[in-house]
Amino acid sequence: MAGSTFGNIFKITTWGESHGSGIGVVVDGCPAGLALKESDIQAFLYRRKPGASRFATQRKESDSAEILSGIFEGRTTGTPISLLVRNTSQRSSDYSDIASYYRPGHADYTFDQKYGFRDYRGGGRSSGRETIGRVAAGAIAAKLLAELGITVTAYTQAIGDIAIPDAECPFEMLDIEEARSNPTGMPDRETSLKAETYLQQCMENLDSAGGIVACRIANMPTGIGEPVFEKLDANLAKAIMSIGAVKAFEIGDGVKVSSANGSSNNDSFRMNGSHTVTKATNHAGGILGGISDGSEIILRAHFKPTPSIFQKQDTVNKNGENITIQIKGRHDPVIVPRAVVVVESMTAITVLDLLLQNMTSRIDRIQKFYRE
Amino acid sequence: MAGSTFGNIFKITTWGESHGSGIGVVVDGCPAGLALKESDIQAFLYRRKPGASRFATQRKESDSAEILSGIFEGRTTGTPISLLVRNTSQRSSDYSDIASYYRPGHADYTFDQKYGFRDYRGGGRSSGRETIGRVAAGAIAAKLLAELGITVTAYTQAIGDIAIPDAECPFEMLDIEEARSNPTGMPDRETSLKAETYLQQCMENLDSAGGIVACRIANMPTGIGEPVFEKLDANLAKAIMSIGAVKAFEIGDGVKVSSANGSSNNDSFRMNGSHTVTKATNHAGGILGGISDGSEIILRAHFKPTPSIFQKQDTVNKNGENITIQIKGRHDPVIVPRAVVVVESMTAITVLDLLLQNMTSRIDRIQKFYRE
Amino acid sequence: MAGSTFGNIFKITTWGESHGSGIGVVVDGCPAGLALKESDIQAFLYRRKPGASRFATQRKESDSAEILSGIFEGRTTGTPISLLVRNTSQRSSDYSDIASYYRPGHADYTFDQKYGFRDYRGGGRSSGRETIGRVAAGAIAAKLLAELGITVTAYTQAIGDIAIPDAECPFEMLDIEEARSNPTGMPDRETSLKAETYLQQCMENLDSAGGIVACRIANMPTGIGEPVFEKLDANLAKAIMSIGAVKAFEIGDGVKVSSANGSSNNDSFRMNGSHTVTKATNHAGGILGGISDGSEIILRAHFKPTPSIFQKQDTVNKNGENITIQIKGRHDPVIVPRAVVVVESMTAITVLDLLLQNMTSRIDRIQKFYRE
Amino acid sequence: MAGSTFGNIFKITTWGESHGSGIGVVVDGCPAGLALKESDIQAFLYRRKPGASRFATQRKESDSAEILSGIFEGRTTGTPISLLVRNTSQRSSDYSDIASYYRPGHADYTFDQKYGFRDYRGGGRSSGRETIGRVAAGAIAAKLLAELGITVTAYTQAIGDIAIPDAECPFEMLDIEEARSNPTGMPDRETSLKAETYLQQCMENLDSAGGIVACRIANMPTGIGEPVFEKLDANLAKAIMSIGAVKAFEIGDGVKVSSANGSSNNDSFRMNGSHTVTKATNHAGGILGGISDGSEIILRAHFKPTPSIFQKQDTVNKNGENITIQIKGRHDPVIVPRAVVVVESMTAITVLDLLLQNMTSRIDRIQKFYRE
């Protein structure tokens, strides 16, 4: 069954394999009137580009986006926006031997089981390149959210055991500019340097590392999220867990809540001055009953280590024989730094879609909308 | 926007508030020919029933399900199955004062923000009673999966810091019968007794506790899950995170993967005898690239502590004044034991839906299906 | 696959068989704040009730609706509205012999082919009683549209060859009060009397008649309908063709357009006074490019004659033998008069859903919505 | 809201404007293993190509399809198939003056009302070129249906009042080869010549003509269609009515049923030899209760005359002034011949999707599927 579409009102459909003609996305349901040009997309794509640091695969791909439809005189028209990124650095030969066996930690075996065969060049549809479509769409969603004053910011919180000092520290204490320029994506230079040392060590061991991406949403309106199955946190969980290599999702205090007590976990409501309801703390991560409460939204995604490592590994081949393999090619020792913009994109897409869904919640607002 | 429907082929739509006429679900897309009677539903509902232990609210609700449609001569007909559970133990008066203020940790404030007002009796739609519809539908999904040889089993893994010795221990070492009969839902008597002592202490402190529900799927076929947005893990994440009070979701090793290395996290493939592909380990929790790999599926949900505690708490009222409140009524000191069957139900529903979605993945199988 | 849900934002899920416990609908996504009581639903149900005239089946069913959820203090809360109508006049014995054979013009054979067996009592899910859920939901949609100033009105345009003089006559010339009180549903007394004579004749011949239901929407805003697959006319076509016994659907001039010329079929735009764009004619029926143009929406549904006739008919039984049957029981000689409110309901539901979908078409409007 | 996606299991998402970079479609959910090459797509595109006859616009567009993804070693992989057709014959200057006014019968006004502005070059998204995506996807659906032995054939039944002798004549009497080679698409040479004369006359009058496209499905399995809202006829109606310029949809006897009697309209069931259930007649057009009955499916679409005519027409401009215009450019005098393949494509897509949906209707079949 079709599985490449995400969202209801703002709906994206991605396509493409790592070594086919290209990768792309159709963004449908984007409101008309948004100023949009290719450089807006490009800025996001650049953040997931390979070859940007020594911890990223050295493939040189331009990843240049072409807008094929949906824009007229510099603005979105309300019709589908089709984006195309050609694959330009295809070295399929690197992958010729993986046709015959199943790489541990990869989707080779499961694709074969599901579809009977697979495009074995570089992981095909299960390659990390699949996320290009998500990021291109995320650039549009983020730009639209910005027009509404909402900002989505992701960054690397941990690589292996190296984590930024306090995961829930105030957003103001993070150095996002630093995160955008160093090779780890961490918003703290000192921690980033430690992580770089650790990664260097992993590479020397022919091994790879996992890590955590955090994402925060500032200036979030209240009321976003549709009970009971289309809750904001439920949709964020799906969006983030649909990214390859993510094995856990947390909102607010996340896994810590299971060992907490109600008295410490509950966030008291307080009046901010005389007019606004706020919360004294934000263990909830900005969501109550699946609906945004106006506080900062905080989520975290746990990424597994890159499965392509250069050590010898046991596996089986298509003839059903136990074999030992050694993977070749170009592979990042850690997925996380390039995944930061993917998490940010999926978060923006999800929040935007639910923000649009929320517009029909009250008859008085609908009457006002149509009366004008 | 409508948010009370879950699933594509096997689709459930739940409805109902804690203190309205009743709670229910419409299960649409259930294949024809399944033997089904009210006692099948009742067995599941009994597991989430209040009043079953001293750690569960003492409301005496019969929670008796009536099948209104979709069954003829004891079997499902392929048409929608409508299930109704009347609310019978409504003491709305307990809730009259919560109309005027916002309980910390509850959805009172966010519902008011979204809809302009709310059914304040016992949490309305955000009450735990909402899960009755999920559980009634889960009973049907589980029965159908059983016909295909697939078993879904959830249990309490932790309450506060008290956890069963080894979270990833072989399923065979768990005492599920014990879990179904003790007040904690833990599959280990000794640990359960410790947890009971801890909960007793929480109650004495007028406080509440969080916990972890684990869920395992045995005999899972390969190939289930639809890349890239309808992956098995992505859908399970949404299903589980849509349950009230869940703040984190893990698949397989979950949060541990972020500090792991590829060499230890990768699961080697091995031939089981000469015919079947298996994995030497199962860090992946049975899912690779969003598709089941034939191993046991393992997931965990982290529940926050019951927000209704009997200590004094700071909050605000609808007039925008800071106040101090003390919640009355009947509230579980921990959500987890009654949530076990909810996690099991949502897992069963999700897996069944994706199992049906998978039937169209290959043309040779479709040809065979229609040739016969 | 699940097929009992209609709509995206305003979403209805119907359930129930003619001779089961009852019939119902869950209306999800209804905006909060609409005043709604059971008598609003009842007024619509009364219009499709059997036994109201000599041309309708003489079963006496009360068809009394119970609101089970979604309403608090007389207003919709934004949560699902569950409506239940118990079946009270079940004479299943009338249907015992149809278990063994396939009635011509009915869905007996196709249900058996699809599901392996069927609930043969009175047509089960394919009975006309299935429309009760649609009508109950339609009452809510119509009330909500009325709050926005939009009126949906259906009536009988033809029974057999007896048609009201001019199908496209101005709405003002129709006598809707007459249509609501006579047994044909025709908005013209003289024509109705002719149709009654014709129906009397059909009954004497142990035969049945077909007919046309027309539906008009007044005060329709411009801009409603989502190109290219969710066009207003495409969705209306699906909504209306999903009603049992409808075999053709027309919008505006409908089938006449295929023999028309562009010069006569095009509707000129003209300024109405100095401010409003109008059309000099309305061959298009109020829709251009799948989007409402602000003119009256006009559609027509062609209903086949009631398939249950009392003449002898050839058919086959489940043993694969050719047999001759004579249907017994209580059956309307014409479907159309009771179907009027079904067409009106499906039209209202469709228009409302698309009206809500349209709210996100422009970024300036979204900004304004969230700024306030 | 997003409206460019059609289908559930076999899901297509189209994009593109007439004078942008190109037109395309993403086909998601196509089963793996189908042999597919660009020439399969091209054969369908050729049938809707402009410039093929003197009654089609003389724009010379190559309409050459590129497969961007989803195919590996000549077969579909189960992942999304992205198809791109570049626009090559863009003479936007022809359209510069239509920016300022609303063409009668076109969507200029409604797009402006909905989106605030529009891509006015050649109709933008509401251009006939939008159907390229449908036809490219239809080629895939038709090829897949052919693998299951199912054939979908559309042809022109009428242009203006010139119709092929008997609309419901046996399929064997139609000359489909003739229809594929003459300029009208009619499967009867004599009638086609009459229609050509009529069209010549229309052109001399600076006028245009409407017409009817019929479509038939041979070898249709029983059981296809999901009651009650996803009925086969309801989905076909939506699919066909979503094509620009279609104003009426008929299944089987269509509009004739409203003046028929039950005794003549009912189709008797008969045993075909001793084994198969057939119908003595096929007034129903192959569908009973929304489910295929195994007979030939017959449907008809009524197309309005091309709205772009060269006569002077009254309209208004964007300043709200009444004006008189005379349209220039290249426009077909009749839409129907090029729409034949569009109707065939949408029919194939719809039937395939419901055929896949039907695979989960019975538990015995699901058990058999997964046991093997």
pLDDT of res. A249:
98
Q: D240, C228 in Cβ contact below 8 A? A: no
Q: What residues of C are in contact with residue A364 (Cβ under 8 Å)?
A: 33
**Residue-wise over B9-43: b if at least 16 C-beta within 10 A, else e?**
bbbbbbbbbbbbbbbbbbbbbbbbbbebeeebbbe
- The proportion of chain B whose per-residue pLDDT surpasses 70, expressed as a percent, equals 94
Of D169, C357, B209, C171, the C-alpha closest to A366 is C357
Write the pLDDT tens digit of every residue in C266-307: 999 999 887 899 999 999 999 999 999 999 999 999 999 999
Q: Which residues contact A154 (CB under 8 A, 6 or more apart)?
A: A213, A214, A215, A216, A340, A341, A343, A344, A347
Write the pLDDT tens digit of every residue in D215-225: 999 999 999 99
**Residue C20: is its pLDDT beyond 80?**
yes
Query: d(Cα A260, Cα D182) in Å, to the nearest integer?
Result: 77
Other C-beta atoms within 10 Å of C51: how many?
A: 15
Q: Which residues contact D73 (CB under 8 A, 6 or more apart)?
A: none
**Residue A96: is its pLDDT beyond 80?**
no
Q: C349, C6 in Cβ contact below 8 A? A: yes
Query: d(Cα D54, Cα D74) in Å, to the nearest integer?
Result: 37
Strands A211-218 and A151-159: antiparallel
Query: d(Cα B169, Cα B189) in Å, to the nearest integer?
Result: 16
Name the residue type at position B242.
S
- The proportion of chain C whose per-residue pLDDT surpasses 70, expressed as a percent, equals 94
Q: What residues of A are in contact with residue D67 (Cβ under 8 Å)?
A: 21
Interchain contact, A79 vs D17, CB within 8 Å: yes
Question: Does residue C200 or residue A93 have the better pLDDT?
Answer: C200
Q: What residues of A are in contact with residue D125 (Cβ under 8 Å)?
A: 77, 79
Question: Does residue B123 or residue A253 have the better pLDDT?
Answer: A253
Of D11, D69, D10, the C-alpha closest to B360 is D10
Structure-token match 């964020």, residue found = A236
The model's confidence at residue C187, banded by pLDDT at 50, 70 and 90, is: very high
Query: d(Cα A204, Cα A214) in Å, to the nearest integer?
Result: 27
pLDDT of res. C166:
62
Query: d(Cα C161, Cα C334) in Å, to the nearest integer?
Result: 13
Interchain contact, C5 vs B20, CB within 8 Å: no
pLDDT of res. D138:
98
Write the pLDDT tens digit of every residue in C27-81: 999 999 999 999 999 999 999 876 556 676 655 557 899 999 999 999 999 999 9
pLDDT of res. C261:
98
Q: C27, C81 in Cβ contact below 8 A? A: yes
Of A149, C114, B276, C291, the C-alpha closest to D357 is C114
Other C-beta atoms within 10 Å of A363: how many?
A: 21
Domains and CATH numbers, chain B: 5-371 (3.60.150.10)
Interface with D, mutate which of A72, A127, A134, A353 (most D CBs under 10 A) = A72
Write the pLDDT tens digit of every residue in D348-366: 999 999 999 999 999 999 9
Question: Does residue B146 or residue D92 have the better pLDDT?
Answer: B146
**Residue A192: is its pLDDT beyond 60?**
yes
Q: B91-100, C315-324, D362-371: which has the minimum mean pLDDT?
A: B91-100
pLDDT of res. A123:
87
The model's confidence at residue B91, banded by pLDDT at 50, 70 and 90, is: low
Closest CA–CA distance from residue B363 to any residue of chain D (Å): 5
User: Which chains would you list as touching C if contact means 3+ CB atom pairs under 8 Å?
Assistant: A, B, D
User: Which chains would you list as touching A if contact means 3+ CB atom pairs under 8 Å?
Assistant: B, C, D
pLDDT of res. B167:
55
**Residue B61: is its pLDDT beyond 60?**
no
Q: What is the phi/psi pair of residue B271, to 5°? A: -80, 135
Q: What is the 3-state secondary structure (H, E, C) of D308-357?
A: CCCCEEEEEECCCCEEEEECCCCCCCECHHHHHHHHHHHHHHHHHHHHHH
Interchain contact, C147 vs A367, CB within 8 Å: yes
**Residue B49: is its pLDDT beyond 80?**
no
| For residues A23-50, average pLDDT | 95
User: Which chains would you list as touching D if contact means 3+ CB atom pairs under 8 Å?
Assistant: A, B, C
Q: Residue C211: beta bridge partners?
A: C159, C303
**Residue A167: is its pLDDT beyond 60?**
no
Q: A14-18, A187-191, C358-362, D57-61: which has the minimum mean pLDDT?
A: D57-61
Interchain contact, D32 vs B361, CB within 8 Å: yes
Write the pLDDT tens digit of every residue in C108-136: 999 999 999 999 988 899 999 999 999 99
Interchain contact, C13 vs B22, CB within 8 Å: no
Question: Could you tell me the two tokens for A136?
Answer: 């291109």
Closest CA–CA distance from residue A7 to any residue of chain C (Å): 12
Of B117, B56, B145, the C-alpha closest to B344 is B145
pLDDT of res. A372:
65
What is the pLDDT of chain C when averaged over all its residues?
94
Q: What residues of D are in contact with residue B29 (Cβ under 8 Å)?
A: 360
Query: d(Cα A134, Cα A65) in Å, to the nearest integer?
Result: 13
pLDDT of res. A49:
76
What is the pLDDT of chain D when averaged over all its residues?
94
**Residue D60: is its pLDDT beyond 80?**
no
Q: Residue A312: beta bridge partners?
A: A326
**Residue-wise over A232-262: b if at least 16 C-beta within 10 A, else e?**
bbbbbbbbbbbbbbbbbbbbbbbbbbbbbbb
Interface with C, mutate which of B8, B9, B13 (most C CBs under 10 A) = B13
**A325, A326, A329, A332: CA torsion to nearest 10:** 110
Question: Could you tell me the two tokens for C98?
Answer: 């149809």
Q: What is the phi/psi pair of residue A141, to 5°? A: -60, -45
Write the pLDDT tens digit of every residue in A333-351: 999 999 999 999 999 999 9
Q: What residues of C are in contact with residue D114 (Cβ under 8 Å)?
A: 222-223, 225, 291, 358, 361-362
Q: Which residues of C touch A (CB under 8 A)?
A: 8-10, 29, 31-34, 76, 78-79, 144, 147-148, 221, 227, 355-357, 359-367, 369-370
The model's confidence at residue D97, banded by pLDDT at 50, 70 and 90, is: confident
Query: d(Cα A87, Cα A64) in Å, to the nearest integer?
Result: 9
Which of A106-115, B51-60, C327-336 ranks highest by mean pLDDT? Answer: A106-115
- Which of B17, B32, B75 has its CB closest to that of C79? B17
Give the sign of the dihedral formed by CA C188, CA C194, CA C197, CA C203. negative
Q: In 3-state terms, what secondary structure has residue B338?
A: helix
Name the residue type at position A328.
K
The interface pTM score, or ipTM, of the predicted complex is 0.97
Q: C369, A359 in Cβ contact below 8 A? A: yes
**Residue B84: is its pLDDT beyond 80?**
yes
pLDDT of res. C288:
98
| For residues A167-186, average pLDDT | 90
Write the pLDDT tens digit of every residue in D161-211: 999 976 567 899 999 999 999 999 999 999 999 999 999 999 999 999 999
pLDDT of res. B219:
97
